[in-house]
């Protein structure tokens, strides 16, 4: 049995299947860990969702910002992006089934020494604390009042965590850290405007995983989200968004031995 962690697919289903073939993935014996952003931008988001859902317990996914955008758009909140490719999901006969399944997926998942999350964890969160905070969001998102949560989810404030936060601001910080964050200050104040390489950090900020004394450093954080960062393998970090949609690569790392599997996406769906 092997566990393959795979970076952001973003609807590039053909590339995803090619990578699984290269890994010789067998759902009867192996597992997939998917870092989120399964959907949007690429042309086959619907096929990606259907395939992953049908894998059942062989696949573990965490929600990324594109999954949350999908759920928000389906509920009629927010402004649709001109470039999204989600209509194929909304018009599918199994749309409600897929969205209901998606609402019940975790925001953060930990097992052994590994923690799977789309973007990152604030420096003052241990992995157990992050799991507990993620569970707060998951409970609301899977509940009957999930529409109220989606209506209040988006926005960049508050930009920092406090144990005293309550209600929608509390949940919003959790969501933003786990699905949107790239840079933060040493005290955990998030900055969302900058999207470039790690060296492009705005003054007073660092890539979140470089903050000294980060409390989740006792785990290996398995993340996606940051295509400009590219594939990055360190003792406590597996950053796997290697820019498939943008014409670079789709990457899998076998967690047991950190073997890397990649396919070239240059002939896929790179943005013109």
Over residues 204-247, the pLDDT tens digits come to 999 999 999 999 999 999 999 999 999 999 999 999 999 999 99
- Name, in order, each residue with C-beta under 8 angstroms of 272's C-beta and a sequence gap of 6 or more: none
Beta bridge partners of 114: 111, 220
pLDDT higher than 50, residue 14: yes
- Rounded Cα–Cα distance for residues 139 and 155 (Å): 20
- Name, in order, each residue with C-beta under 8 angstroms of 246's C-beta and a sequence gap of 6 or more: 227, 265, 270, 271
- What is the tens place of the pLDDT at every residue in 43-82? 999 999 999 999 999 999 999 999 999 999 999 997 888 8
Confidence of residue 271 (pLDDT cuts 50, 70, 90): very low
Number of other CB atoms surrounding residue 33 within 10 Å: 22
Domains and CATH numbers, the chain: 3-264 (3.60.21.10)
pTM (two decimals): 0.96
Q: Is 148 helix (H, G, I), strand (E, B) or coil?
A: helix
- Rounded Cα–Cα distance for residues 181 and 207 (Å): 9
Phi, psi of 74 (to 5 degrees): -65, -30
Confidence of residue 266 (pLDDT cuts 50, 70, 90): confident
């Amino acid at each position: 049995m092997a566990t393959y962690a795979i970076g952001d697919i973003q609807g590039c289903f053909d590339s995803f299947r090619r990578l699984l073939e290269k890994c010789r993935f067998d759902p009867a014996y192996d597992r997939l860990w998917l870092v989120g952003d399964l959907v949007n931008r690429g042309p086959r988001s619907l096929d990606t969702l259907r395939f992953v859902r049908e894998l059942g317990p062989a696949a573990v996914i965490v929600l990324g910002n594109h999954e949350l955008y999908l759920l928000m758009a389906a509920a009629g909140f927010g402004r649709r992006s001109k470039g999204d490719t989600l209509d194929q999901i909304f018009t599918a006969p199994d749309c409600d089934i897929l969205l209901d399944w998606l609402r019940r997926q975790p925001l953060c998942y930990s097992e052994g020494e590994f923690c799977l999350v789309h973007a990152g964890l604030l420096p003052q969160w241990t992995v157990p604390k992050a799991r507990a905070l993620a569970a707060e969001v998951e409970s609301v998102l899977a509940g009957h009042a999930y529409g109220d949560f989606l209506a209040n989810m988006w926005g960049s404030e508050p930009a920092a965590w406090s144990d005293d936060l309550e209600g929608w601001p509390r949940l919003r910080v959790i969501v933003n850290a786990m699905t949107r964050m790239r840079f933060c200050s040493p005290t955990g104040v998030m900055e969302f405007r900058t999207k470039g390489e790690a060296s492009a950090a705005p003054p007073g900020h660092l890539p979140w995983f470089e903050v000294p004394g980060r409390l989740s450093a006792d785990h290996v954080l398995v993340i996606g989200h940051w295509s400009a960062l590219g594939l990055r393998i360190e003792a406590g970090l597996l950053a796997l968004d290697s820019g498939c949609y943008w014409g670079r690569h789709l990457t899998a790392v076998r967690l047991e031995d950190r073997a890397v599997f990649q396919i070239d996406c240059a002939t896929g769906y790179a943005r013109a």
